[in-house]
Each structure stands twice: as C-alpha cells, then as structure tokens.
Structure 1
C-alpha cells in the first residue's frame, strides 16, 4: 500500500489543504497551488513509492513507513490519512482511499484550525459550569480536523394516498342545534424526490455526534481528490451500504408519507385509509465530510466528545460539568437568600 506525501515543487516542503483559500499551502515557503496545479504535480513515482514503502507480510493495515523520514507510522485499520509522529509530515494511505474504498465525493474543510479553536472557545465560554481543564491550552491543541466517511442517498418514489376527509358545520336555529357532516373521498398521487439522506459509515464513530453535525451544504461538494486529505486526519468506511439501506428506506418512506399527507388541505379532519410508496430509483454516494473534533477524559471516567461541522461550524457534543462550580454557586445563592431573609426580618 502506497504512503503518499504531497511536496512543494519550490522547496520540497509538505503541502496541506488550506480551508481559507481552498488552495494547497506550503508550510515552509508559503507557496500556494490550486487543485488543477496539484493534479499536474502528482508524484510520477507513486508506484516506486508503493514498492519502497511496502510493509512486511502480516503487518498490512497497521504499520507503514513515512516517505519523508522513514519512521514507522502505526495506524488503526480504518485510518486513511494521518501524520508522521516524528517529522509531523502529513501522509495519505492511498490504498485505503482507492479501489472499492475510493470515495465518490468530498466536501473540503471551509473552517481552518484557527477558526475552529475560536469557535470552540466561544462555545465553551458560554457554558458556566465547564471545567477549566476542558479549554486549557493543552486541551485546545488536541482539536483535530478529520474527514469522516458517510453514505448519502437520493431517492425517487411514486406515492399514492387514499383517505377520508370530513368537514363538520354546526349552527343553531331557534332552540335547535344542527350538525352537518360532509364526507369526502380523497386521493393523491405524487412523484416524490428526496435528496441527501446521510448516514455515518464508521462503526467506531460516536453515532450521535456523527449525525449531530449534519447537514452539510452539498452545493459545495467536489469530486474526490486524494490531495484534499493532506494536512488532516481521515477515516475510511467500515460500514457498507447494505447495512444501512433498510433504515434509510424507512426514513424515506416516513418522510414521503408526511409529504403526501401535507398535500391534503381544506378538511376539518383526515383519516388515512391507505398510503403506498414505491421506490423506483435510488442513488448512493460514498462521501468524505469534514469535522473538527476533540475529546476530554472527565474525572468521572467518562470520555466527552465535542464535534463541529468543518463547513458551517454547527456544534454537537456533551460537555463535562465541574460540580465544584455548581456547588459553589448554589452555596453562594443560598447564602445570599439567607442574608436577604435576615435583612427583611430586621426591617419588619
């Protein structure tokens, strides 16, 4: 499996994707390159590198060699992009984003590390009972930009609804009250198109957080280029489409029924007799989506996660609570109430 590192043609420094400029920046000479230029600069010796960085038999999928310094890079089975622990050179494990694991599309990071840290601090500073250690410098430095794998589906369905509508009118004439009930047969047939039904494709990911950072603006989607991963961490999928199809179809059908129901208006009440949905076309894409994330081991032994959508800054997470702060504030409030009670007693 090849270990790829993208090098600056001017100084041979590593190139990383810059979310602010949407270009590739050299960390050493500050040169910048567009995606088109990167495509032209792709290493011609990639096959040679694959031979030179081939790992010993039995270690495939866990140990590789850095193309810059030769040090061993130890990874988990799903890691697709990482950093060398010694020279901090960004590397992409190309075999994990090729063949059957080649993503169809990617949404590049639009928020860089500096912006991610600013948004993180702004978020936690508004939480009064978060432990100081959670936003200590050492903790903030752990914030990581990660491309997580997702499956995204579009569906075209034919929908048919049969229902009974009722309109009831009540009026009085003299001492008599009259009620008129009109019953209508209601039928609807609609073509329903649903887009961008998104599911996390990494088993070890925190499912609540992986879904919590959604949605993304798919208008910014790009065809997958391996170079987008340079400078970030990345994970490849370990959940296949077949594992998620039933859940996605159920969600699509529920949403389709709701859309059909919303077309029926002008009645006091509606009773649905039959609703049929037939999926006649579905299209799935394997996507890489950007997430800024940080973890915090709480004193209670629980690991807390903070995640932020790397495109629009949407935050999802569960923050730890410093109960000493809670008790201190509670004690202060109780003392204040007691003091006001004494003052009130003296005045009376």
Structure 2
C-alpha cells in the first residue's frame, strides 16, 4: 500500500500544514513553505510502496512477508483493516478502510495514505483548516466551562489532548432548477351595512415560474460518523475551497467517503423540489388564502463535488457508559455536541439552593411572627 510523506527541503523533517499561516511548517528546523514552494521535483511528496520502504528500513524479507500476510488476513476478514508501512521509520500502520491520513504510532510522524484518495476517490476540493490546535483548545474550554453541570474530567488536560483535527468527507451539491406553479388566491372583504353583515370573496388565478440556483447543499459521506455530529458544524464558506492537494492533510487525520452520491440523490432532489416550490409560493403575497393547484419542478443541471471539510472533534465516555461527542467547525469555530451531565453537581447545587430557600423562609417566618 502506498504512502506519502512531505519532507522539508532544508532538513528532511516532516512538513505539517499550519492553519494559522496557511503554510507548511517543519517542526525540526522551523522553516515554512507555501504550497508552490514544495512542489518542485526535489521536494515533491515522496510516493513509496510498502516493499520499497520495508527494504529501506532494513526490516528485511521477513517483515515484508508479514505485511503481506497481514494484508491477506485483512482481506479474509472482509477488508476491515488495511496495513501500510510508515515512510519515516518503516513501522506497520493498521487502519480501517476509510482512513486517508493518520499518524505513525511509533515515530508520531504524519502519514498520508495516498491510495485512499486516488482515482475515483480523489476529492474535487478541500477547505483547509483555519483554526489551529491552540485556538481549538481555547474554543473548547470556553464552550465547556460555560456549562455548569459538565463533569470536571471533561475539560481536564488528558481530555483536551484527545481533541483531534479530522478532514471528514462530504458531497456538495449544486443545481439549476426550473419551476412552475399554478395557484388560486382568495381575497375576503367583510363589512356591515345597517343590521346586515356582508362578505365578498374574490378568487384569483396565478401562475409563477422561474429558474432557481441552489448551491452548496452539503451531505456527509461517511457511514461510521454520526450524521447529526457531522452536519451540526455546517455551514462552511465554500468561497475558500481549494483544489485538493494531499499536502493539506499533513498533520491531521482524514477519512475517505464510503457513501456515494447516488445513495443521496433521492433525498437531495426531494429537498431541492420542496425548496423551489416554497420559493415560488413565497412570491404570492397579499391574499387571504392560497391554494396550490399544481407545480412542475425540473432539474436543468446538477453537479456533485466530493469535498473534504475540516472538523475538530473529541469524544468522552460518561459514567453511564454513553459516548458523548463534541465537534467544532475547523474553519469558523462553530461548535456542536451533546455534553455529559455530572449528576453529583446537579444534586449538590439543588441541595444548596434548597438550603438557602429554607434559611430565607425561617428568617421571614421569624420576622413575621415576632
């Protein structure tokens, strides 16, 4: 299995994408580079195979055969696991089928799994992280500490260290839609003359038609991720989307899609038809009541873009065994998640409030009856 490692032209260390500067930084010599500065023949990401890297690392034939054996075993198990070789230290990296960027467990260098994002799985675009880890931690602490009943363990140091930057896969849908609508609108006028009340109802026939441009309808494309969690951090500013480049993944985790756009077509087209119908109906104003007689919605042009979007996320296992998720938009900082509740804190505050109320009642009673 092929891997990619982006090397520093100055010292050969690993380059990591820095959201704050939007450049690639070397943590060894402190150099930084723009994207076009690392794409020369000498500094381009090195694409290597497992066998070549195993030989270079000195692991020998035995390690290579073991890797092949692990690959075959993964295939026998329904390909639930995939084995790669770290291009930096030669260690074996075991991931699942949707992982596209990770870290070596031994040397901790970022590893980009190139075969996961090639061919039909090559993303059309990516929105790079704009919020770095320090900013993400500050956002996380600010968000959590405002919640009075969250367990203290949820924002302790070891929990904050679990905060992970991940590129999640999404399908982004754009469409041009023609719509036509026929409706009847009623206008009712009521007046009183003498002792009699009169009602006049006038019926109007209306036709509406037009073309609607719908852009950036975003759907998550990973089965193992929670849909509410994945879509709770939306929206993103797609004007900042860039053509996909593997370098943006360096220093982060990334997942590849396992949901195809054809699986989402019926859902999205239903949403598009409803939205177009609602827009046409909203142009009808000034009537007492409106009754839609018929409508015709037709998609003229549509486009699906496979997109990777940045998310900071952390999980927490509560005392009840339930897994709680927190996520944050890696571009604009929008937060989403279900936080655990410390029942002891709730009980303690309840007892304290009860005690205060009891004391106040005693004082009021004493003053009232004496």
TM-score tier, shorter chain, comes to over 0.9
Q: CA deviation at 1:40?
A: 2.2
Residue deviations 1:175-203 (CA, integer Å, cap 9, x gap) = 22222111100110111111111111000
- Does residue 156 (structure 1) correspond to residue 176 (structure 2)? The answer is yes
Structure 2: state its 5+ residue gaps.
55-66, 76-80
Alignment of 1:19-34 (within 5 A): 19-34=19-34
**Counterpart residue number, 1:234:** 254
Q: Conserved in 1, the CA contact under 8 Å of 2:174 and 2:215?
A: yes
Residues 217/244 of structure 1: CA separation in 2 closer, same or farther (3 Å cut): same
Give aligned pairs, total: 348
Q: Conserved in 1, the CA contact under 8 Å of 2:315 and 2:325?
A: yes
Alignment of 1:55-70 (within 5 A): 55-56=67-68, 57-58=71-72, 59=74, 62-70=82-90
**Deviation larger for 268-277 or 325-334:** 268-277
Residue deviations 1:291-312 (CA, integer Å, cap 9, x gap) = 0000001110100000000000
The 3-state SS of whatever aligns with 1:178 is: strand
- Does residue 37 (structure 1) correspond to residue 37 (structure 2)? The answer is yes
The 3-state SS of whatever aligns with 1:294 is: strand
The 3-state SS of whatever aligns with 1:39 is: coil
The 3-state SS of whatever aligns with 2:199 is: strand
Distance (Å, rounded) in 1 between the aligned partners of 2:16 and 2:126: 16
Structure 1: state its 5+ residue gaps.
none
**Counterpart residue number, 1:80:** 100
Distance (Å, rounded) in 2 between the aligned partners of 1:161 and 1:237: 37
**Counterpart residue number, 2:63:** none
**Counterpart residue number, 2:8:** 8
Runs of 4+ in 1 over 6 A off after TM superposition: none
Residue deviations 1:95-125 (CA, integer Å, cap 9, x gap) = 0011111000000000000000000000000
**Deviation larger for 168-177 or 56-65:** 56-65
Q: CA deviation at 1:174?
A: 2.5
Q: Conserved in 1, the CA contact under 8 Å of 2:50 and 2:84?
A: no
Distance (Å, rounded) in 1 between the aligned partners of 2:206 and 2:15: 62
* TM-score for both structures, normalised by structure 2: 0.91
**Counterpart residue number, 1:202:** 222
